Structure 1
């Protein structure tokens, strides 16, 4: 069975389980990136009932926001429910509240802005094994746990745990990853062969489409801030407010200004430095 057929079969199975155990359609998460566009096309071809959901992070590039709106408008015209979750706090407000910059080891932004927006639902994501070593441990279907060791991976040579789902003994959210075994070139081959409209940022040299300034993006952040200087200024203002909040809390820091924080943050490739971020806050 080829990749497209396998992915569609996974979507159909997850859709049936969603309706049976949750009484609601399967949720297709949509970020505005290439994997999300492939997912939407596969969902439409599957004929399964579904809803599309986007988590608005407040730090997406304008091109991404416009692309999401356009795709959702097309879906809604076909009678498919689409929802854009807008957080109560923006990234800038979140930085001030947390009193620390978002880092690889302190990804509070993902938890607040992107995760947990569809509680108690069966959700399909565009996670793929070849994106990172961490994601290579993900399964085709999962039951999330607070800790990695507590997660249950399904349909991955684990029949006993799969039965747990089929008996509906698990409460809360469930996750399906229909394109988990697709490689990078598979995604682009499908997009080009099927003439799927994608985010214009890829034509501007971007390898990934996500939050502007995400520490996980590595050196590509320099290009992001060159292309979107307004976001750089917004981060620096947020860091300034963060320092005020730190001082008002009776703490001290080695940083003197928001720009100091930004310069340190942009060198955020040192994992040890991220883990010891407390060193920058003298209690």
Structure 2
């Protein structure tokens, strides 16, 4: 067992013990269907701890991701492990989806305003101790703002972020009286190569999108995928492009209904205009598109 694997398993065991003491319930492994969450899930199984698994439905995941999650949950449920899909059902019965969230927010999701993640991906696991596949290697922001152990509160400045997880830090973390979501990130210090090497050595089945050239697996259209990544996604999944254009159209209608038209000229006046602005593809609002490249 490598040092990285040993440390990750020890973090999971410590978090599991705390979860059982503080919450009287098993640790929750959050599972997206990407490579990091597959490694996290494998480590949880190897650790021997009791755990449950939670998948947050974004409603904009590629079919391959949906099938991969289904296959993984079927395997786990056959072992008696509880698996839950968070469908974001509200107390009054309706569901939040990407397609009704965009008109509600009155703006497209962006790298800066990532309401899509906060609502559709990170909202699950309330009143539970959760484990995630967050890694520092993914971005400078995560290196700066995430830790091995976290208590996340509604006010970021009041949250507790511990980069180390030695005995002293664990005691501080467990005794913390802050009201918030407790999180452990077992592979936070792993590099991407560490993840890929572990997947190969342990023969972990990956999301088939990686075999199609994808370097990351998020929801289709995620701004964090970059311009080239999103262009490739929409070329492969054109129906998602059409769904975004419809949602942006409803967003503009809702803005007009509320009298919020200040950004209309920046974004254009239609769902197609907003889509081009969002993709940063240089198409001017209202500009004609050549035959063969007309919008859906």
Provide TM-score, normalisation by structure 2: 0.86
Deviation at 1:146, TM superposition (A): 3.1
* Cα distance, 1:251 vs structure 2: 2.8
Residue number in structure 2 paired with 1:242: 251
Q: Which residue of 2 aligns with 1:201?
A: 209
User: Contact conserved, 2:151 with 2:181, CA < 8 A, in 1?
Assistant: yes
Corresponding residue number in structure 2 for 1:188: 196
| Deviation, structure 1 residue 154 | 2.9
Given candidates 214, 228, 233, the residue that maps to 1:224 is 233
* Aligned match for 1:97, one of 82, 87, 104: 104
Compared CA separation, residues 268 and 141, structure 1 to 2 (3 A): farther
Equivalence for 2:273: 260
SS of corresponding position for 2:274: helix
CA shift in 2, pair 1:157/1:120, >3 Å: closer
Deviates more, 1:249-258 or 1:133-142: 249-258
Deviation of the 1:101 alpha carbon: 0.8
Q: Distance in 2 between matches of 1:157 and 1:258?
A: 47
Between the aligned partners of 1:56 and 1:166, the Cα distance in structure 2 is: 30
Cα root mean square deviation, aligned? 1.8
Output the CA distance in 1 between the equivalents of 2:170 and 2:244.
44
Tell me the CA shift for residue 200 of structure 1: 0.4
User: Is the CA contact 1:155–1:162 (under 8 Å) kept in the aligned structure 2?
Assistant: no
Question: What TM-score do you get using the length of structure 1 for normalisation?
Answer: 0.90
Change (3 A) 1:78 1:149: same
1:109 lines up with 2:122 in the alignment: no
Q: Once superposed, which parts of structure 1, at least 4 consecutive aligned residues long, lie more than 6 Å away?
A: 157-160
**Cα distance in structure 1, aligned partners of 2:12 and 2:170:** 16
Could you say which residue in structure 1 is the equivalent of 2:48?
A: 47
| Matches of 1:12 and 1:169, distance apart in 2 | 21
Query: CA-to-partner distance for each residue in 1:150-204, whole Å, 9 max, x for gaps?
Result: 2212362787764333335343320000011111011111111111100000010
Q: Distance in 2 between matches of 1:168 and 1:80?
A: 30
Q: Does 1:144 align with 2:145?
A: no
Distance in structure 2 (CA, Å) of the matches to 1:24 and 1:168: 18
Secondary structure in 2 aligned to 1:120? coil
Q: CA, structure 1 residues 150+118, in 2 after alignment: closer, same or farther (shift >3 Å)? A: same
Gaps of 5+ in 1: 270-283
Counterpart-to-counterpart distance in 1, 2:55 and 2:184 = 16
Measured after TM superposition, the shift of residue 149 of structure 1 is 3.0
Q: Which residue of 2 aligns with 1:281?
A: none
Paired residue total: 269
Q: Who is 1:276 aligned against?
A: none
1:218 counterpart SS class? helix
The 8 Å contact of residues 136 and 189 in structure 2, kept in 1 or not, is answered as: yes
Gaps of 5+ in 2: 89-94, 283-296
CA contact (8 A) 2:149 2:173 kept: no
Deviates more, 1:166-175 or 1:255-264: 166-175
Partner of 2:36: 35
Q: 2:130 maps to what in 1?
A: 123
Q: Would the aligned equivalents of 1:164 and 1:170 in 2 still touch at CA under 8 Å? A: no
